Amino acid sequence: MASFKELVFSGVQPTGNLHLGNYLGAITKFVALQNSHDCIYCVVDLHAITVPQDPAALTANIREVTAAFIACGIDPKNHIIFNQSQVPEHAELAWVFNCTARLGWLNRMTQFKEKAGKDRENASVGLYAYPALMAADILVYRATHVPVGEDQKQHLELARDIAQKFNNDFSTSIESNGFGDGFFPLPEPLIQGPATRVMSLRDGTKKMSKSDPSDYSRINLTDDADAIAQKVRKAKTDPEPLPSEEKGLEPRPEADNLVGIYAALSDVSKADVLAEFGGAQFSTFKSALVDLSVAKLGPIGAEMKRLVADPAYIDSVLADGSERAGVLARKNMNAVKDILGFIRR
Ligand code: TYM
């Protein structure tokens, strides 16, 4: 396999209710990777329309995710922040990948099964083909590293399968076009730390999610201090004090989740948190968690509010990022066309 320049790509859907899971599972990783890598972070609006969206709300949500990226510390000048629909090569490469991916591969995707639910016949074709678009997002930049939460692992595996099959199917053409023995890298998922799967505050066996009807199930990045405090205090727990060892968390999903959140927010391990709070009652631990959450998330929410109030600035960030992303995507898409044997201007 040819060697590729390391490049980070990831995306977040603009579907509202950006929450602590998105922040700890993904966005904090995006921020950290800026120090070591070139990074491209995308507001994936084409993915959002795989389920119905209200156009005015979608516009607002695209700006809100952009504001969250900036408020959390992503630098739109040294890296790239943009929205997917402004770079048409994502959709173009997705079509090519629709012809690379096999039905059998897509049939295995658990997220489609969950999202389509019982009424599968009525799900959009886009929802089904979604993982091919996700592979295109990453591979149109030939990105090598993809920070995501645990729930995206299966999609990343599919992206690797697609890259591998494309490289195999067109190996002769790839070589004769001067790309050595592989055009696409096999992108590596980066899924690390104590909060790769943040769970609902109401049910420790369910993922924290944007679409949970109960707002008490999640902490939104735009929640104020009072809302954060209320949600943490009401979070489901059990009657036992916290254990001193991680093993003691295993049969206790709600305790495990809150300890994981605390660990991730303070950038330590769960073992460190238990060394401090082992034996403590939840009332004590929750007070500390409220203080920590408000200290970490309060300034982010305030900055998001400030940014969202200036849509012209947000839109200019997206325009600039899309311009720069577009240059990279076009170059790779042209190469894909040459490899496929298309005639182009
Ligand atoms: P999305 O918008 O659902 O979520 C954005 C990121 O947040 C992570 N995440 C979580 N992490 C921990 N705990 C949770 N409860 C939790 N909920 C969400 C997700 O894993 C994700 O990293 N398909 C993607 C968006 C996408 C993408 C891409 C990602 C489109 N193209 C290319 C990477 C590369 C999605 O729907 O993420």
Of the candidates 191, 222, 228, 195, which has an alpha carbon nearest to the alpha carbon of residue 304? Answer: 222
Q: Is the C-beta atom of 148 inside 6 A of ligand 1?
A: yes
How many C-alpha atoms does 195 have within 13 Å on its Cβ side? Answer: 27
Across the chain, mean pLDDT equals 97
Q: DSSP state, 123?
A: S
Q: Is the C-beta atom of 188 inside 6 A of ligand 1?
A: no
Best probe residue, ligand 1, of 20, 148, 188, 200 (max atoms within 8 Å of C-beta): 148
- Cα 334 from chain centre: 27
Tokens of 104: 């059998």
Q: What is the DSSP string of 161-218?
A: HHHHHHHHHTHHHHHHTT-TT-SS--PEEE--STTSSPBPSS-TTSB--TT-S-GGG-
> Is 115 among the residues known to form the active site?
yes
In Å, the largest CA–CA distance within the chain is 70
Mean pLDDT, residues 194-208 taken together: 97
Sequence-ordered list of residues with C-beta below 8 angstroms from that of 259, at least 6 positions apart, any chain: 194, 242, 249, 270, 273, 274, 277
Helix (H, G, I), strand (E, B) or coil at 300: helix
> pLDDT digit string (tens) for 251-260?
999 999 999 9
> Is 231 among the residues known to form the active site?
no
> pLDDT digit string (tens) for 285-339?
999 999 999 999 999 999 999 999 999 999 999 999 999 999 999 999 999 999 9
Q: How far is the CA of 152 from the centre of ligand 1 (A)?
A: 6
Of all residues in the chain, what percent carry a pLDDT higher than 70?
A: 99
> pLDDT digit string (tens) for 182-199?
999 999 999 999 999 999
Residue 92 sits at the vertex; the CA angle it makes with 89 and 97, to the nearest 5 degrees, is 120
Q: For residue 269, is pLDDT > 80?
A: yes
Least confident segment among 21-30, 112-121, 122-131: 112-121
Distance between the two ends of the chain, CA-based, in angstroms?
A: 30
- Atom in ligand 1 nearest the alpha carbon of residue 12: 2
> pLDDT digit string (tens) for 273-287?
999 999 999 999 999
Q: How far is the CA of 276 from the centre of ligand 1 (A)?
A: 31
Band (1; pLDDT cuts 50, 70, 90): low
Q: For residue 235, is pLDDT > 60?
A: yes
Identified catalytic residue from 29, 207, 231, 270: 207
The pTM of the whole model exceeds 0.85: yes
Q: Is the C-beta atom of 13 inside 6 A of ligand 1?
A: yes
- Atom in ligand 1 nearest the alpha carbon of residue 155: 23
Domains of the chain: 8-196+310-340 (3.40.50.620), 215-306 (1.10.240.10)
In whole angstroms, give the CA distance from residue 194 to residue 122. 37
Band (53; pLDDT cuts 50, 70, 90): very high
Best probe residue, ligand 1, of 17, 23, 44, 211 (max atoms within 8 Å of C-beta): 44
> Is 207 among the residues known to form the active site?
yes
Of all residues in the chain, what percent carry a pLDDT higher than 90?
A: 98
Band (2; pLDDT cuts 50, 70, 90): low
Q: Is the C-beta atom of 151 inside 6 A of ligand 1?
A: yes
Mean pLDDT, residues 217-229 taken together: 97
Specify burial of residue 59 (Cβ count, 10 A radius: 0-12, 13-18, 19+).
Answer: middle
Q: How far is the CA of 10 from the centre of ligand 1 (A)?
A: 8
Mean pLDDT, residues 92-116 taken together: 97
What φ, ψ does residue 22 adopt, rounded to 5°? -60, -40
Of the candidates 161, 150, 149, 158, which has an alpha carbon nearest to the alpha carbon of residue 129? Answer: 158
Q: How far is the CA of 136 from the centre of ligand 1 (A)?
A: 15
Q: Contact, 29 vs 150, CB < 8 A?
A: no
Amino acid 151: pLDDT: 97
Q: Is the C-beta atom of 198 inside 6 A of ligand 1?
A: yes
Amino acid 181: pLDDT: 86
Q: For residue 41, is pLDDT > 60?
A: yes
> pLDDT digit string (tens) for 131-161?
999 999 999 999 999 999 999 999 999 999 9
Q: Contact, 76 vs 320, CB < 8 A?
A: yes
